[in-house]
Amino acid sequence: MTTTVELTRFRVAPDKVDQLLASRQAMIADFKADREGFLSARLVRLPDNEWLDIVEWRSSADFAASRAKGANLPGIKAFFESIESLVSAEEGTTEEG
């Protein structure tokens, strides 16, 4: 099965890391409740106050629909408010072989 993968790299100020981590579970719960096609998410801490969020979607259309909704629920909004700046955002597909 091919899925769509969202790769979002962002910066979080050191004083916002606790907020980011505290809001993560509520963000995931909001995604499960409100985002059709959401499959999974992994958060990776990188050097220099950067993070990588790896989110898997059933399809590109599901990812686009989620993006259009933005921070429409409290858990998602709290997570997004922790982010200082966006470094990059990419979309890809899984290739299982």
Domains and CATH numbers, the chain: 4-91 (3.30.70.100)
Task: Return the percentage of the chain with pLDDT > 90, whole number.
Answer: 96
Tell me, rounded to whole angstroms, the distance of Cα 86 from its chain centroid. 12
Query: What burial letters (b/e) apply to 80-93, b meaning 16+ CB within 10 Å?
Result: eebbeeeeeeeeee
Q: Is 16 left (phi over 0), alpha (psi -120 to 50) or beta?
A: alpha
In this prediction, residue 87 carries a pLDDT of 98
| Tens of pLDDT, residues 7-28 | 999 999 999 999 999 999 999 9
Q: How far apart are CA 84 and CA 35, in angstroms?
A: 24
User: Which value, to the nearest 10 degrees, does the dihedral of the CA atoms of residues 41, 89, 5, 91 take?
Assistant: 170
